Amino acid sequence: MRALAVIAVLACAAPVSADPDPKRKVCVLEYRSGSSAIPGIAKRLVGEIGKQTSFQLLGPDQTRTVYGDALDGAIVKCAGDAECIAQIGKKVGVAEVILVGVSELGDVILTMQRIDVPSRTVATRVADSLGPGAVPTDDQINGYLARLLAPGDFLRYGVIAIVANLAGAAVTVGGEKRGTTPIEPLKLHAPATYQIRVELDGYVPFTTKVALPPDGEIKVEAELSKRGAGSAWYQKWYVLAGAGILVAGAAGTVIYFSTRDNSSVPVTVDIP
């Protein structure tokens, strides 16, 4: 009953601030009130947060490197107080501190607080009661994070910059028309795979597929050649041999890998 009462109090959370920066700097700290239960819980939390968000993330070890050896003593002195923990966050230069607490009142009480450093207040709290010796599953940890973090924190993006050798070419990415060249770099959800098509009347369309990683940037160079203008440079035998091109049929598809620079991507060109 005492454990349930503690959880009921901790579950009362302050409102989540509107649209926090999804790339903000966050540190994860661990506070134990005389309990050795759930060893490694903070590191597990750091691992899941790192996979699901774009935070600039500091785990307990990285935070200790920045703060100094007195970090553990400072956390114990704060005893979970939000204003005190925010001072630690300010010293290490983060926007938020996620404080993981482990204590025992018969059951093991696991708490998580997301503390906003500038306002020195708790944005959200999550608490759970676990049996002695119980360890949260990955699904449980993901459930805690879904309640602790803002929905926008789980949206990750990457950038695709498409550069064409001709102006006025229509650009389609993932089946959606994005405008005509020259075109601004596109910020898109990631990780994801996108089909890209660049086309202009009278020219052979350019198509390729790219895998966009979270927080990554990909540059795609679209070379359009005029239809019926004779053999394009990429069709000449010495280019095919030098680039290791695979040709499928007389009127098939040519796939080549540009060797001009490290930013080039696999390119597919449809041959009429």
Name the class of domain 157-270.
Answer: mainly beta
Degrees, nearest 5: CA angle 165-169-174 = 110
CATH code of domain 2-154: 3.40.50.10610
The ranges assigned to domains in the chain are 2-154, 157-270
pLDDT score recorded for residue 230: 55
pLDDT score recorded for residue 245: 35
pLDDT band (50, 70, 90) for residue 155: confident
Average pLDDT over residues 57-66: 96
pLDDT band (50, 70, 90) for residue 18: low
pLDDT score recorded for residue 106: 85
pLDDT score recorded for residue 126: 96
Per-residue model confidence as pLDDT tens digits over 224-259? 999 876 545 444 433 433 333 333 333 333 333 333
Q: Rounded to the nearest 5°, which phi and psi values hold at 222?
A: -100, 115
pLDDT score recorded for residue 241: 39
pLDDT band (50, 70, 90) for residue 266: very low
Q: Are 202 and 170 in contact (CB under 8 A)?
A: no
pLDDT score recorded for residue 248: 35
pLDDT band (50, 70, 90) for residue 20: confident
211 in helix, strand or coil?
Answer: strand
Q: Are 22 and 123 in contact (CB under 8 A)?
A: no
Element (H, E) at 105: strand 96-105
Residue 54 has pLDDT above 70, yes or no: yes
Average pLDDT, the chain: 82
Looking at the chain, list the stretches that DSSP marks H as alpha helix, in order from N- to C-terminal side: 2-10, 41-52, 60-67, 71-78, 82-92, 138-148, 237-243
pLDDT score recorded for residue 215: 85
pLDDT score recorded for residue 228: 75
User: How far is it, in rounded angstroms, from Cα 250 to Cα 106?
Assistant: 76
pLDDT score recorded for residue 10: 46
Would the CA dihedral through 54, 55, 60, 62 be positive or negative? positive
More confident residue, 272 or 47: 47
| Global pTM value | 0.65
